Structure 1
Amino acid sequence: MNEPVGSHSRAVAGHCLLRVEDGGFAHLVVPAELGRARLDVRDRALVTALVYGVLRWRRRIDAEIERASSRPVDSLDPEVRAALRIGVMQLLVLDMDPHAAVATAVPIAGTRKSARGFVNGVLRAVARADRPPIGRTDADAGDASLAELYSYPDWIEELFVDQFGAARTRALFAHGNRDAEVSLRVVGARWPNAEESLARAESALRGAVGELDKSRLTPGAWRIRRTGNLASLAGIVDGTLGIQDEGSQMVAAALGVTPDMTVVDLCAGPGGKASAILEMLGAGLLVAGEPDLGRARTTERHLDRIGGGIATLTGNHQAATAAVVNQDGTHCALRSGSADLVLVDAPCSGLGVMRRRPDLRWRIQPSQIDELADLQGRLLDEAFRVVKPGGRVVYSVCTVTRAETTGVVEGFLARHATATPDACQRAPWRQIEGGSLLLGPEADTDGMFLASFTRLT
């Protein structure tokens, strides 16, 4: 049977959704599948739009499927569910021609005639119903909650409204459903006499990627509003450019690294902030710890591109400019009081980066927030052991929940009388109790929290 034109890209998108359902992370699954699929630039963009769009708008999409089929989405076979979600995405989010939207989605259901017939019938019913578009207007909201309207779990709405109020929650939800622009950082932008390399990088970027704006928040960074295949961009391949959100770049810039420091990045993988630290160190020492071996190796590759004399700390490598250590950050191998600066860029719920990782809203459960806060507190305790008197511990997370931000800080300060909070960051950071908060709608970055402490004795 000849499949409709465009079915291959939809098949790739469907396979991505199935892998995410099986526990894969969208930001890893999509690039891996695109690397195997050999699609052109236009079809690669379509696959990304379909997968990320379905994950963002899953609650709204599933409601349309259940309305048209009178069956719970969770009761359907995974392939049928993926086909229907992509079909509704094409109909009500991307506003595609109904015939093409249905015809290209049906093959995702597999080869069984009954499955294809069911998908075809449901999608045609959605198309005939003339439903309002998803994600473009609040006109169809009616009595819908913010979670229903913007496609989030109810518990996230309850958490955010309690912490930020309804108006700011609406803004956070809307920002979390936007496509995130790509931010690029030039490796070496913080080195002396970097102007020439920055000029060369800008010239190369303008010739390769379309619309390009200099970052208004961090030096040596750009925002790309229209891109091709960034993975093949020369600077990405040779390591002179790195993809990193401006919020993360702002955390690195706030560390206050000086060239002769001994710095420990306790949770370094995959290496973005560690790379920025190494650029600022000069003759100092960076120890980058990471418990996951794969992420530790990725960190090592990132640091190696900077040319910092990288060594894996498994033997006598104390003279290395940077060392990557495969270890649990709550049990650091370094002696007490050995570091000038310890960064705890801790594992977290990720609720500040949902525009880049929309699957997180469905993956994270409320019970995990307290579990993560406990881990974050133990990491901070270990960082405080490692830092020397007069040194600093910096805590950052890409989330905005009270438990993982001010709650962790309050617990840490209660346990350590010789820790004193440092000054908060300036705008666009929002000063809150215990630290600084970066909210996506206000800064147009990922959501971040940052707190800094000096050890007195």
Structure 2
Amino acid sequence: MRDVKQGLNPAPEVSKPQPSGWVAAAGLVERWLARSERVDTLLEGLAAGLSPQERARAQQLFYGVVRWASRLEAALAGLMAHQPRTKVKAVLMIAGFELLEGGPDLTAKVIHHAVERAKSVTSPKEARLVNAVARKMADRLTVSPADLATEFAHPEWLVNRWTRQFGLETTRKLLEWNQQPAPVYARWRSDAPVPAFLAPTQWAGFYEVKAGHWDEIRKLATEGALYLQDPSTRLCIGLLAPVAGESILDACAAPGGKSLFIADTMKTGKVVALDEPAAPGKPDPRLQRLKENLSRAPHGVNVAMVEADLAKVNTVFYRNLSLPESYDAVLLDAPCSNTGVMRHRIDVKWRLQDGDFARHAQQQLSLLHAAARLVRPGGRLVYSTCSVDADENDGVIKAFLASRVGSRAKLVRSVQAYPWTDGHDGAGAFLFEMVS
């Protein structure tokens, strides 16, 4: 008997809907609200199936919610009798950011889009709630808040601290800066011509990466032709002034961008990159990136990666590893509050506490003492932070110079970069000569 199936036309393939960046962002916001996970950790788990455009959209929406979280929370306050599911709140927070971003002219479109998305990620009843609440939220977001902390979505204590330190007008400039998406910059490392799609900047060797060329950028980064890096990093390297043939210690090296910058400047010599070891059983992505970056150093530079706590090891430790016990120059790019890089580290302001500044300053001074002991007589020591706070910069330097170890040091030069005047991340850098 003839198989009747042979006469049937094959069923048409049903195309699967493409993953949505908006839906992916809702998942990221949901996890951030529920678990307070770090933004960079959450982004590492962003769905691999997203197209580059949808992935960028997911990151843009997620970053927008985190940047404006307290203002969005304020607009939502009191609009619902009961706390919704975290997923529903995530949808409302994204809608709120899009309302802020788009302005009154796009209100209807934003709300309609949020409700349609809510239908796919929540229940029909919850989608109706999104519709009602988003409309009221839109009215609240069009009213300018009376205080800077609410207007620019920063903790009130931090705004007050900056106002005391910088004054009201300058604090507003810093807050405005922090709330803008950060440009991406690349430091060109190759002798080959710079591609036309990299836009020159006012900072020699640094180029702005424009949208639309990420495949080429990834390829160039993998090949080592460029390194994605903010121009503020040039300040501490400029003060350190690495010279060919020197031995240099990068004392808090991970993820290794500055170690690589030092090696590129020297061309020949030795770079020892030191940072704290990973916790037992927990691989540290920063140390892995340090290892990868050191592998791209010029062939004439001998590199060594060391996992140790700078403040807890002595010269015997280095001797046992056949490493120098003193160095021509030491860079200490110290752990800090990150107040100069909040454009990039957008969740820092929500994790930072007022008492952290004193704690950081104490640790920084301890590390500075340890670093100074590793500089040969006549050698150079550079202390740097990505902070704009005086306690972590001038305050640490004054305490160091007044100490027994610091009495051997002569402050030669310093530079403090502020985003609102320099146009890039904030940073402090201080050059010492160890005189005896």
Given the alignment of the two structures, is residue 159 of structure 1 paired with residue 170 of structure 2, yes or no?
Answer: no
Q: In the aligned structure 2, how far is the partner of 1:77 from the partner of 1:443?
A: 43
Match of 1:78 in 2: 86
Answering whether residue 239 of structure 2 is matched by residue 254 of structure 1, we say: yes
- Distance change >3 Å, CA 64–CA 120, structure 1 → 2: farther
Structure 1 residue 63, shift from structure 2 partner? 1.1
Residues 403/117 of structure 1: CA separation in 2 closer, same or farther (3 Å cut): farther
Secondary structure of 1:268 counterpart:
coil
Separation of aligned partners in 2, 1:130 and 1:331: 54
Q: CA deviation at 1:132?
A: 6.2
1:221 equivalent in alignment to 2:232:
no
CA distance in 2, matches of 1:395, 1:265: 11
Q: Does 1:267 align with 2:217?
A: no
| 2:114 is the alignment partner of 1:101 | yes
- Match status 1:322 vs 2:303: yes
| TM-fit CA distance, 1:152 | 0.2
Deviations 1:349-381 (A, max 9, x none): 111111111111101111222111111111100
Is 1:141–2:132 an aligned residue pair? Answer: no
- Residue of structure 1 in register with 2:172 after alignment: 170
The aligned residue for residue 137 of structure 1 is none
SS at match of 2:402: helix
Task: Tell me if the contact between 1:16 and 1:29 (Cα under 8 Å) persists in the aligned partners.
Answer: yes
Paired with 1:59 and 1:349, the residues of 2 have a C-alpha distance of: 20
Opposite residue 90 of structure 2, the aligned amino acid is: A
Range moving further from structure 2, 15-24 or 265-274: 15-24
C-alpha RMSD over aligned residues: 2.5
1:442 equivalent among 417, 421, 432: 421
Any conservation in 1 of the 2:416–2:428 contact (CA below 8 Å)? yes
Describe the superposition over 1:20-59 as per-residue Cα deviations: whole angstroms up to 9, x where unpaired.
Answer: 44343323432x234x332223212211111110011111
How many angstroms does 1:117 deviate by? 2.8
Q: C-alpha distance in 2, partners of 1:129/1:260? A: 62
Instruction: Please state how far the C-alpha of 1:160 moved relative to its aligned partner.
Output: 0.4
Q: Which amino acid aligns with 1:249?
A: R
Structure 1 stretches (4+) deviating beyond 6 angstroms?
none
Distance 1:367 1:215, change over 3 A: same
How far the C-alpha of 1:105 sits from its partner, in A, is: 4.1
Cα distance, 1:129–1:324 mapped onto 2, change above 3 Å? closer
- Which residue in 2 is equivalent to 1:187? 189
Which residue of the partner structure matches residue 374 of structure 1? Answer: 362
- Which residue of structure 2 lines up, in the alignment, with residue 316 of structure 1? none
User: Which residue matches 1:191?
Assistant: none
Partner SS state of residue 263, structure 1: strand
Match of 1:334 among 300, 318, 321: 318
Deviation larger for 282-291 or 221-230: 221-230
Q: Does residue 64 of structure 1 match 2:89? A: no
Instruction: Give 1:299 deviation, angstroms.
Output: 0.7
Residue 396 of structure 1 corresponds to 384
User: Is 1:11 aligned with 2:23?
Assistant: yes
User: Equivalent pairs: percent with the same residue?
Assistant: 28
Partner amino acid, structure 1, of 2:429: L
Change (3 A) 1:23 1:302: farther
**Contact 1:287/1:323 (CA < 8 Å) preserved in 2?**
yes
Larger Rg over CA atoms: 2
Residues of 2 paired with 1:178 and 1:422: CA distance? 35
Shift of 1:242: 1.0
Partner of 2:297: 306
* Equivalent position SS for 1:423: strand
Structure 1 residues 184 and 105, CA, compared in 2 at 3 Å: closer, same or farther? farther
TM-score of the aligned structures, taking structure 1 as reference length = 0.81
Distance in 2 separating the partners of 1:259 and 1:362: 43
Once the two structures are TM-superposed, the CA of residue 180 in structure 1 deviates from its matched residue by 0.8
CA shift for structure 1 position 129: 6.0
* Contact 2:247–2:328 (Cα < 8 Å) also in 1: yes
1:159 Cα deviation from its structure 2 partner:
1.1
- Aligned residue number for residue 3 of structure 2: none
**Larger CA deviation: 148-157 vs 94-103:** 94-103
Which of 393, 409, 412 matches 1:405? 393
Cα distance in 2 between the residues matched to 1:122 and 1:231: 40
Secondary structure of the 2:349 match is helix
Query: Is residue 88 of structure 1 aligned with residue 96 of structure 2?
Result: yes
Distance change >3 Å, CA 169–CA 386, structure 1 → 2 = same
The one-letter code sitting in structure 2 at the alignment partner of 1:68 is L
Q: Which amino acid aligns with 1:177?
A: Q
> Could you tell me which residue of structure 1 aligns to residue 4 of structure 2?
none
Change (3 A) 1:414 1:304: same
Segments of 5+ residues of structure 2 without an aligned counterpart are 1-16, 279-283
Which one-letter code corresponds to 1:85 in the other structure? M
Equivalent pairs counted in the alignment come to 400
Relative to 1, partners in 2 of residues 1:162 and 1:41: Cα closer, same or farther, differing over 3 Å? same
Q: Provide the rounded CA distance (Å) in 2 between the counterparts of 1:230 and 1:24.
A: 29
Shift of 1:241: 1.4
What is the CA–CA distance in structure 1 between the aligned matches of 2:186 and 2:25, rounded to whole Å? 26
Shift of residue 403, structure 1, vs aligned partner: 1.4
Alpha-carbon spacing, 1:292–1:228, altered in 2? closer, same or farther (3 Å): farther
Change (3 A) 1:25 1:249: farther
* Aligned position for 1:117: 125
- The letter for the 1-side match of 2:26 is G
Residues in 2 aligned to 1:327 and 1:228: alpha-carbon distance in whole angstroms: 38
Gap runs ≥5 in structure 1? 135-139, 189-193, 207-211, 310-319, 425-435
Q: Distance in 2 between matches of 1:455 and 1:394?
A: 11
Task: Return 145-154 or 8-17, whichever deviates more.
Answer: 8-17
Letter of the 2:66 partner, please give it: L
